[in-house]
């Protein structure tokens, strides 16, 4: 009797033709989310904004026998949504990843909510006409920027993202659109280690470690695909740092 042994990349779900996702935002978290979608058999598109290695993302997705399309950053939000839908032959999920780099111009960081709202509304317009869908808006908790010049600004950014999530969920739920938020604490990403202050590195996380990109990606994928009755909520992935405090 011969026993067939499958590698993890070989033993996977068949392509999920009901879901297609657009991921917007840089850092290595983009790769983790694209790979997680691929593991679920879901094709995705990413926007090459120059903050990560798009080729590396493609290679990582290919290892999962998945599909990812790389879009350039040209055009407005409406154009982006429609280019993604054409590349994917549909669009059911939008994931926005917000991980400000302290070296970025402050004006770019503070204008992020306007761009986020535009993408949300453009995706909602498309999804409403095609049966509905989901939006996951990510942002980082201020603790990731403790001791740095962005600490106070990230607090404002976090509030803006929360407002977008709740407004979209309440207004467009009747059109079968879900909108949820993910706020992350200490994530073990190369980009974070590159700019983290000594105050950040000294943060005492209750679980005694930083979170991984894969852990975050699994939560984002769950919210985008499986959490069919969760909308308007902000989920916090922080290893317990905000336990007992007002995390939202």
pLDDT in tens, the chain (248 residues): 444 444 554 545 578 879 999 999 988 999 999 999 999 999 999 999 888 899 999 999 999 999 999 999 999 999 999 999 999 999 999 999 999 988 888 888 899 999 999 999 999 999 999 999 999 999 999 999 999 888 889 999 999 999 999 999 999 999 999 999 999 999 999 999 999 999 999 989 999 999 999 999 999 999 999 999 999 999 999 999 988 654 44
Is pTM beyond 0.85? Reply is yes
CATH node for 20-237: 3.40.50.720
- Residue 81 has φ and ψ, to the nearest 5°, of -60, -40
The token duo for 58 is: 């493609």
Domain ranges of the chain: 20-237
Number of residues assigned to the chain = 248
Please name the residues in contact with 194: beta carbons below 8 A apart, sequence gap of 6 or more. none
> What are the backbone angles phi and psi of residue 236, rounded to the nearest 5°?
-110, 125
CA 6 to chain centre: 30
């Amino acid at each position: 009797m011969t026993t067939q042994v499958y590698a993890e990349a070989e033993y996977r779900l068949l392509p999920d033709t009901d879901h297609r996702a657009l991921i917007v935002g840089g850092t290595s978290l983009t790769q983790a989310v694209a790979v997680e979608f691929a593991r679920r058999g879901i094709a995705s598109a990413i926007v090459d904004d120059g903050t990560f290695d798009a080729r590396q993302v493609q290679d990582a997705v290919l290892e999962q026998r998945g599909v990812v399309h790389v879009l350039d950053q040209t055009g407005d939000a409406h154009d982006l949504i429609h280019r993604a839908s054409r590349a994917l032959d549909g669009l059911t999920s939008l994931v926005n990843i917000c991980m400000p780099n302290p070296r970025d111009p402050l004006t770019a960081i503070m204008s992020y909510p306007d761009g986020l709202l535009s993408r949300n509304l453009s995706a909602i317009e498309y999804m409403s006409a095609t049966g509905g869908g989901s939006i996951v808006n990510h942002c980082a908790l201020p603790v990731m920027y403790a001791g740095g010049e962005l600490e106070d600004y990230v607090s404002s950014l976090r509030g803006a993202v929360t407002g977008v999530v709740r407004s979209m969920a309440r207004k467009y739920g009747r059109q079968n659109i879900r909108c949820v938020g993910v706020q992350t604490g200490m994530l073990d990403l190369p980009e974070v280690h590159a700019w983290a202050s000594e105050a950040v590195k000294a943060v005492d996380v209750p679980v005694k470690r930083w979170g991984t990109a894969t852990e975050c990606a699994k939560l984002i994928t769950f919210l985008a695909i499986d959490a069919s009755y969760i909308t308007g909520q902000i989920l916090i992935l922080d290893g317990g740092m905000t336990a007992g405090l007002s995390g939202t």
